[in-house]
Structure 1
Amino acid sequence: MVKKIGAPVRRDIEDKCMKDMRSRVFQHMLKTRGWKYRAFLRYLRLFKYAAFSPTRGEFLESYYTLMRYLDDVVDGDAPLPPEYPDEASYILQKIEFSKLPLHPEDEVDYLMCYCFEVADRFGADFREETSDILNSLLFDARRRGHLEIFPHEELSNHFHKMDIRGTIRATLKVFNEDPDKYLFLEPLGMASRYQFDLEDFEADIAAGYVNISREECDQWGITRAHLYDSSSLPIRRWFRWKAEAGLALLEEHHRRLPQGRFSLLSRATFPLVYEAPARKRFMQVLRECKV
């Protein structure tokens, strides 16, 4: 059993904060990006019944709410609390709080404590994954608005922390799998990231994020001016290359998957939540980006 961490939280305050925040975040997601998140949110609700584990389902829903909200603050989709000068300062405070979650001050702190307490009920500790995800959000907070083009290694490390070592490893713990099996799922995590890069390209550029590496810019002749025109030939070529690479990653995922000996529930989840949306996006890009 994992040693219980975090301050004792009054149950009435905790439950109200959690439910209000979760409802608000989900409604915002459906209102602004319903086409993208509706099926996923439906899956979150179904998981606790499919897994016959309401506690794990409660954690998954609450932890996703927590990280989705923090991501929205970093991206400017949710307001930055007025007591913080910038998004990086806010995320830094949450990183420090996650290390020693005592004396919660706002609803995010309460929700983080709640997540850790629920995880303790099924004997899991998510502090490492939380650190990876929050530090990845810190990277985004610091680069937002600058349109800085990073080397491949630095950008890949950022996404590996967020999508694979953070998110996928945490998901495996929720599914009662060996979390170190995340290594078998690296191709799937990378394909999912490619999907987001393509799906959110214009929104990312508008927010000042460039998810094209310096090496890729050189390879495809992409200049800073091209970033503002997704119909330009260099960007269309990059889109097509990214989609083809994404499909190749999905094939690699299928080759690796049997080695992980995942549970039936996990094997049913991967194609539904990760693979199908990614494949759909890649095929759409290949149909639309004729070069």
Structure 2
Amino acid sequence: MKVGCIGLGIMGGPMALNLLKAGHEVHVWARRPEATEAFKDAGAQVDTSPAKLARQVDVVLTNVSDTRDVEQVLVGNNGVIEGAQPGLVVVDHSTISPTATRKLATALADRDVDMLDAPVSGGQQGAKEGSLTIMVGGKVDVLERVRPVLEVVGKCITHVGDHGAGQITKACNQLIVAQTMTAVSEAIRLAEAAGVDPKAMREALLGGLGYSRVLEVHGQRMINRSYPPGFKTRLHAKDMGIVLQTAADLGLPLPGTAQAAQWINAAVGQGYGEDDSAVIAEVLRRLTPPPKEAGDH
């Protein structure tokens, strides 16, 4: 298939390269022209606008930061909608507002363009490996049309409902990750403060009911105190804002989510916005006494 990729960051970039390796004809566009050079060298065609890209492809994948960014590249000036031919499919892998997603799907449908909201989980490593989890909202028959493309970038592809359901499912993912990450950072800090080796503590918990992928991956980052993204803290903060706004719209209290969001917001406020969001462990370390030496009581 002819595939257009809009957004070539830590998620969209590896996805585009995997599509090239799989033999798809790939067109790319990014807000910063210099970001397209590596993809041109790899065999992609660089287009000068989302509209021009849309004219030449069967499916468009978007991977941009926020709701307004998606709105701009899809329905803004020189956006996808201006170049879209009937039958085009737009697959938005960004994490954005479910309400905005539904409005975008309606606007595109008026031009005979189908949309799937298909946010992903798995981080940069999953994008590189083509092993992302993809949660899809939209029509089942549209998903089946583009499944050969999605199977290049993801291994677990689940249809979860109509337009917006993918974004709601991603919101559920983000609140679980945030709260689990908070718990892991507190466990590591407790072990440190009590003079217990956090490496040994983590190793023990990985074999029990306390196991989680967050403990395995982010727990190691917290112990190493090394936080290359991954998933940037400022983007996690944005996602948590979407979760809490969605809950507020539904009149739904999510107290654990609200507390976890404050840790992430604090990390951004302390200058960690470009680091992986596991860096909340450093916020906790700043607020607590130094750990005891081994054997202290």
TM-score, normalized by length of structure 1? 0.30
Bigger proportion of residues as helix: 1
Structure number with higher relative contact order (C-alpha < 8 Å, ≥ 6 residues apart): 1
Bigger proportion of residues as strand: 2
